[in-house]
Amino acid sequence: MVIEWDAPITMDDGLVLRADIYRPVGGGEHPVLMTHGPYAKGLSFQEGFAFAWMQLAREHPEALEGSSNKYQSWETPDPEIWTRDWGYVCVRVDSRGAGRSPGYLDCFSPRETLDFKNCIEWAGVRPWSNGKVGLTGISYYAMNQWQVAALRPKHLAAICPFEGASDLYRDGVRHGGILTSFWIRWYPAQVSSVQHGLGARGRINHNTGEPIAGPETLSPEEMARNIADLPGQHLGNRFATDAYFAERTPRLEDIEVPVFSRGNWGGIGLHLHGNTEAFLRVGSRQKWLEMHGDTHWTEYYTPGGRALMRRFFDHFLKGEDNGWDREPAVQLSVRLPNEKFLTRKEGEWPLARTQWTRHYLDAASSALVAEPGSDASVEFRGFSQGHTFYTPPMLKASEITGPVAAKVFIASSTRDADIFLSLRAYAPNGRELLFQGASEPNVPLAFGWLRASHRKLDAARSLPYRPWHPHDEEQPLVPGEVHELDIEIWPTSIVLPPGFRLALTVGGEDYDHQLPGPLVPKAPPQYGGIRQTGCSIHVHDVSGDRPPEVFDGTATLYTGGKHASFLLLPVIPAA
């Protein structure tokens, strides 16, 4: 490869961002794959995210073959595969204020998105470019693809967001209006730790010998002035319509380029809903959805996962007639117990043959039943796991694949309540069926959340299986009065064998699977080592957002009669 370190890209306001460019030898014009973000392009995958690298090497050694892995960087393509072997130019840009790029660091801001657009247009007219730029990458490098694609850069030809939220408020920061602490832990661990200006105080790029967050070394006071207060931004902006979130939420309908959206059933706290929702809403006439399992990063690096992306980009960036345009719109790794998957291609999402099936909650029997029962109720404390309802054992194999929703009738002793829904599965021996999640090893089927004061629906955008809350105002509860809540539960997929049961837990705090044994696995150390409970790092424990005097009251769940609470499941009939 020909490697150009710290290539300058001048923005419209005169600030210069820095990019590493990996080009095939021999000159000529080539398609471009670009990433742009705050994780420091010079930080190696192996050093910055050793826990993930070791797991990938241990469980999928084939993902590391065919490369020296010297240029691997977290959540970005390996240039030894994409450039040396497959003929793409890989461009990694440190976003404003991060890594080797100076400036004010403000994640997902309009300024950062405009910078990304400028970088795309710059790459599209380089002598080594064929004029077609594709976007790829995981997580942050997927989320900002939705943002910049909505600006319609002239040279943008295709995007492949891999496990990336498309609505910062709903998918990532405030689930159902409830603030998650993930970003507050993530910010110092992954962003300010590589802020531009650390210089000699930071890490070194082992390929260049240069500081990854330099070259200059700024004082702590200067650096504090150059970075946004993200925890304050998240705590201080409570509604989706607040300017902070509104200007960071793309109009997905404005995206016109081909889209290959790749999501993970196990991304139930951040990276799942964004991929399915964006697939439905983007304006692109050419769009595909792929859903898989395993960890957050695995299928991006495995040979099979890379081959899917290569076919997509070869078709739209190189013009190859490889049959990609004739592929069905949806490819699902349908999940079975014990981390087994059945790959199946479909024509649409949700599946047209879905049998939307109600299971009614019965507080008298703690059951999920086919018809509403008599009036009943059950109380639970606000900060508690709440109450669980079970189906009878399955008489035959049953597939649940698609979006899920619930309607519950709730009263609270206070003016508000946070409702946490957990969709679960149990084996005949009574043991809960747990799965490898995107960011922890034991997750249930799906989660849903709603702050009761955010229960207002947008009737025009709501669907039976996906209620849409505008999150534009607070409507306090009347203590003791019953209120109707429609709650979205993120999509899932499972084929349950005969004898297995489904369950729904309705509670007031994050799910906790309570693994047996004296030791409970910890989250990766950069996220504070919080206990893994099935939610991993996506928990809702910000005290300023959930004052006990409001949210730790007594909640009462009503079922049956005129308060027929129910769970809506996407049942897929056997072929």
pLDDT in tens, 92-124: 999 999 999 999 999 999 999 999 999 999 999
- Structure letter (DSSP) for residue 9: E
Q: Extract the runs of DSSP E, i.e. beta strands, from 127-179.
A: 129-138, 156-162, 174-175, 178-179
Measured distance CA(160)–CA(169) in Å, rounded: 21
8 Å CB contact between 335 and 293: yes
Is the pLDDT confidence value at 519 over 50?
no
Query: What whole-number distance in Å separates Cα of residue 357 and Cα of residue 485?
Result: 18
> Cα(287)–Cα(240) distance, rounded to whole angstroms?
27
pLDDT score for 342: 96
**% of the chain beyond a pLDDT of 90:** 93
As a whole number, mean pLDDT of residues 269-280 equals 95
pLDDT digits (tens, 9 = 90+) for 295-339: 999 999 999 999 999 999 999 999 999 999 999 999 999 999 999
Q: Which residue has the higher pLDDT, 173 or 269?
A: 173
Joined together, the tokens standing for residue 450 give 């709603």
Residue with tokens 């970075």: 227
Q: What is the DSSP letter of 98?
A: B
How far is it, in rounded angstroms, from Cα 351 to Cα 333?
A: 14
HSE (side-chain half, CA atoms, 13 Å) at 114? 10
pLDDT digits (tens, 9 = 90+) for 7-41: 999 999 999 999 999 999 999 999 999 999 999 99
User: DSSP 3-state assignment of 134?
Assistant: strand
Sheet holding 287-292, edge to edge: 2-10, 16-23, 89-94, 30-37, 129-138, 156-162, 259-264, 287-292, 330-336, 340-346
Tens of pLDDT, residue by residue over 244-265, are: 999 999 999 999 999 999 999 9
pLDDT band at 344 (very low <50, low <70, confident <90, very high): very high
Specify the residue for token string 């398609």: 31
Residue 243, pLDDT > 60, answer yes
Write the pLDDT tens digit of every residue in 486-503: 999 999 999 999 999 999
Mean pLDDT within 518-543: 66
Check residues 531 and 362 and name the one with the higher pLDDT. Answer: 362
Binned at pLDDT 50, 70 and 90, residue 532 comes out as low
Q: How confident is the model at residue 525 (pLDDT cuts 50, 70, 90)?
A: low
Is the pLDDT at 420 greater than 90? The verdict is yes
Please, what are the domains in the chain?
2-162+178-237+297-327 (3.40.50.1820), 355-572 (2.60.120.260)
Backbone angles phi, psi at 336, to 5 degrees: -120, 165
Question: pLDDT of 275-303, one tens digit each?
Answer: 999 999 999 999 999 999 999 999 999 99
* Distance linking the first and last C-alpha atoms of the chain: 49
pLDDT bin (cut points 50, 70, 90) of residue 528 is low
pLDDT at 514 over 90: no
- Give the least confident one: 149-158, 521-530, 565-574: 521-530
pLDDT, average across residues 71-76: 97
Residue 16: its H or E element? strand 16-23
Q: What is the pLDDT of residue 527?
A: 52
Contact 442, 513 (CB under 8 A): yes
Residue 530 has what pLDDT? 58
| Mean pLDDT (the chain, rounded) | 95
Q: Name the percent of the chain lying above pLDDT 70.
A: 97
